[in-house]
Amino acid sequence: MTVSLSQNARLVMEKRYLKKDRYGNIKETPEDLFARVAKSIAAADAIFESDADIEKTEKNFLKLLTSMWFLPNSPTLMNAGRRLGQLAACFVLPVEDSIESIFEALKHTAMIHKSGGGTGFSFSKIRPENDAVLSTAGISSGPVSFISVFDVATEAVKQGGARRGANMGVLRVDHPDIATFIESKNDPGKLNNFNISVALTKAFMDAVEKNSDYDLVNPRTGKVAKRVSARNIFGIIVNSAWQTGEPGIIFIDRINRNNPTPLLGNIEATNPCGEQPLLPYESCTLGSINLSKMVTGDSLNLNRLKRTVHDAVHFLDNVIEINKYPLSRIEKMSKSTRKIGLGVMGFADMLIKMGIPYDSDKAVSQAEKIMSLILQESGDASAALAKKRGNFPSYKGSIFDNSSTPYMRNATTTTIAPTGTISIIAGASSGIEPIFAVAYSRRVLDGKSLSEMHPLFIKIAKKEGFYSRELAGRIAKTGSVQSDDTVPNMIKRLFKTSHDISPEQHVKIQAAFQKYSDNAVSKTVNFPADAAKENVEKVYLLAYKNGCKGVTIYRYGSRKDQVLSIGGEKKEFAKIAPRPRPERTMGITERIKTGCGNLYVTINSDKDGMCEVFAQMGKTGGCASSQIEATGRLISLALRSGVKIDVVIQQLIGIRCPSPSWQKGRIVLSCPDAIAQVLKSLTNSDFVEKGIVAGLCPECGGAISHEEGCLVCHLCGFSRCG
């Protein structure tokens, strides 16, 4: 069995998914990984059927994975068949109005992040700032201050020792501290481990429409704290989202109208990307069908799609059973509702293969056709499983009870979730987003750039006779073909990227998928840099009117200090000289393994801070040693000239040489990359977050894309949302 993977997909798998030994050496192939996952998940059949044909199930699952017809969420790919065994991606934890509850949630968050999951919370029950604390005769610091506590804790707990966890913080729009919450992320240095969303109620949206006031309610007393203008609060939300892309909004009453198990309680929060509303202590297992693989010729292969849906539901239900949950309460709640979220990726690629422009009414109707079929078939598959295995335990009192559906294994079956890294593995466009770019530049050996082009565009360009070597280089400058005169107009329509699509069309596509999704839809509505605030408001109202359960927007260039800006004035900068080297310094030396051998990096500081870097190979002489010495001298010169260490790290990290190495589970791409890693580890650098703010991937230096309610890198698979 050989799996067909692009070079980029193999790099992502090596970096994030394949087993490694204690020294960081890769111990399995992609083929081994898929075999491991298929075998592990198929074994769950024996729990329900004593005569189960596990070998047959394993073959079906292996076909599903190796054909890239379907891939589960990242924790399942990473951990199935391994000691950790935590396979779910998203969790929601309750936060009550007490110190005990808040810090219990904090402890549980750390346990979930350690296992590789992301967490969502509603902070709406916490009393407002300056409210009375009766037990101490003091005053409350409010929900935003406690969100900061969770943020700091997340910073300290790395997922699997490799990456920080992702969180969603939700606050109801009728909480007295709502204005403070809305603007809590306007400072790019704050709450960098959180996405935030405002839970908008029907009463609030009605008040916005009528331009009337609405009640802010103290959650401690249940009494009205004051009445405020709905339009004013809505304007603050719009203004903040226009400036920074946050907060997102969720329509909480609409979500609860679709709550499949209302007797278990109200839904108050979602997972980090907003597409998975969950009850307290629930988790959800997600997976995505690659729609690009469901096309034969220029039409949908309906039989393949139906078969894939049924196998995928079987797969995801098995995951629930064998998952090693981080808390017993989470296991109990998750098995009580058995929620799964089957979604899609490769939608944009599918449209291209079918000759349908993304920004067309036909694309909207195709989205509805596809998702309605997936919803119907996933429900049928869940019902068939229920006949063999039983209904989900909380079936009684659910929306299925006393209906025409006597059997249902899973309380929900469909979700449109982010597919950042799994879509790279599958070689597909992300989720239901437009294509990321028609062409882009990848940094390769010796610092050179290589222009890569979308494979479907290459195929069509060659067929239509307008392909040339120079074409990729031209397109890579912007990623778009819309201004290239050599590309026929018909092809331009097919290959529109996120920023070539109108915000209104983004919402129409999201609404089409939402119409047939049990849960919600993760998608970003992109705006050009010059978009007016009124356009953001218009999209919010359009999303509400069209039945979406939430919406996330991003205006190009809205993040402060974004590098990938459009135009702008040329500025003159003062020329500066470095301060003299001090006579006495204090330092530390760290050894790091590179492909060229052990590198010893010494960092010295004086009273004014870091001022000097030396680096030396274990073996001396040669061109490598001279280049390392030159790198150290230039870093020292920069530091003594007042250049921020974060900027130095940004320039060095991700530089690749022909001989990368592994150390303690992380890849060391080159000697400059090694120096950058040491600098980062020995300082309080927050480069990772600043790199994101600057529009650059913190791991490879590539362009960060705002899509699926998250920040992702299509080059290396980095995802801000885990």
| 125 shares a domain with 81 | no
User: Does residue 196 carry a pLDDT above 70?
Assistant: yes
Q: Are 358 and 348 in contact (CB under 8 A)?
A: yes
pLDDT in tens, 257-304: 999 999 999 999 999 999 999 999 999 899 999 999 999 999 999 999
Of the three residues 215, 246, 270, the one that is the final residue of a domain is 270
Question: Which band of pLDDT confidence, cut at 50, 70 and 90, is reported for residue 627?
Answer: confident
| 329 shares a domain with 239 | no
Question: Which band of pLDDT confidence, cut at 50, 70 and 90, is reported for residue 452?
Answer: confident
Q: How many Cβ atoms from other residues are within 10 Å of residue 22's Cβ? A: 7
- CA trace torsion 171, 176, 179, 180 (10° rounding): -80
| 686 shares a domain with 611 | yes
Residue 713 lies in a domain: no
Residue 572 lies in a domain: no
Residue 39: exposed, middle, or buried by beta-carbon count in 10 A (0-12, 13-18, 19+)?
Answer: middle
Residue 86 Cα distances to 81, 83, 89, 117, 162, angstroms: 10, 9, 9, 8, 16
pLDDT in tens, 61-100: 999 999 999 999 999 999 999 999 999 999 999 999 999 9
Q: What is the mean pLDDT of residues 604-612?
A: 79
pLDDT in tens, 303-318: 999 999 999 999 999 9
Please give the residue range of the domain that contains residue 183.
90-270
Between 43 and 644, the more confident residue is 43
| 182 shares a domain with 165 | yes
pLDDT at 470: 85
pLDDT at 234: 98
Residue 433 lies in a domain: no
pLDDT at 576: 67
Percent of the chain with pLDDT over 70: 90
Which of 522-536, 549-563, 630-644 is least confident?
A: 549-563
| 241 shares a domain with 122 | yes
SS (H, E, C) 210-251: HCCEEEEECCCCCCEEEEEEHHHHHHHHHHHHHHHCCCEEEE
Distance of alpha carbon 347 from alpha carbon 354, whole angstroms: 11
| 385 shares a domain with 471 | no
Question: Which band of pLDDT confidence, cut at 50, 70 and 90, is reported for residue 171?
Answer: very high
Read off the amino acid at residue 390: G
Q: What is the mean pLDDT of residues 199-224?
A: 98
In a 3-state reduction of DSSP, which class is residue 655? coil
| 344 shares a domain with 416 | yes
Residues annotated catalytic, as ranges: 271, 273, 275
Question: Which band of pLDDT confidence, cut at 50, 70 and 90, is reported for residue 722?
Answer: low
Question: Which band of pLDDT confidence, cut at 50, 70 and 90, is reported for residue 609?
Answer: confident
Residue 234 lies in a domain: yes
Distance of alpha carbon 91 from alpha carbon 88, whole angstroms: 8
Residue 673 lies in a domain: yes
Residue 476 lies in a domain: yes
Number of domains in the chain: 4
Q: Are 125 and 105 in contact (CB under 8 A)?
A: no
| 396 shares a domain with 255 | no
Residue 7 lies in a domain: no
Which of 207-211, 537-541, 609-613, 655-659 is least confident?
A: 655-659
| 107 shares a domain with 59 | no
Extract long-range pairs of 478-484: CB within 8 Å, 24+ residues apart: 479/436, 479/437, 479/438, 479/439, 479/440, 480/437, 480/438, 481/438, 481/457
Per-chain mean pLDDT for the chain: 88
Residue 17 Cα distances to 81, 425, 589, angstroms: 13, 10, 31
CATH number, domain of 130, equals 3.20.70.20
| 490 shares a domain with 469 | yes
Which of 244-253, 291-300, 517-526, 658-667 is least confident?
A: 658-667
Of the three residues 270, 303, 330, the one that is the final residue of a domain is 270
User: Does residue 700 carry a pLDDT above 80?
Assistant: no
Q: 348 forms bridges with which residues in the sheet?
A: none
User: Does residue 428 carry a pLDDT above 50?
Assistant: yes
| 394 shares a domain with 290 | yes
Q: What is the mean pLDDT of residues 479-494?
A: 93
| 230 shares a domain with 210 | yes
pLDDT in tens, 141-155: 999 999 999 998 888
Q: 586 forms bridges with which residues in the sheet?
A: 605
| φ/ψ (deg, to 5) at 69 | -75, -30
pLDDT in tens, 544-576: 999 999 999 999 878 643 333 333 334 444 566
pLDDT at 691: 42
Residue 139 lies in a domain: yes
User: Does residue 654 carry a pLDDT above 90?
Assistant: no
User: Does residue 498 carry a pLDDT above 60?
Assistant: yes
pLDDT at 571: 43
Of the three residues 270, 295, 325, the one that is the final residue of a domain is 270
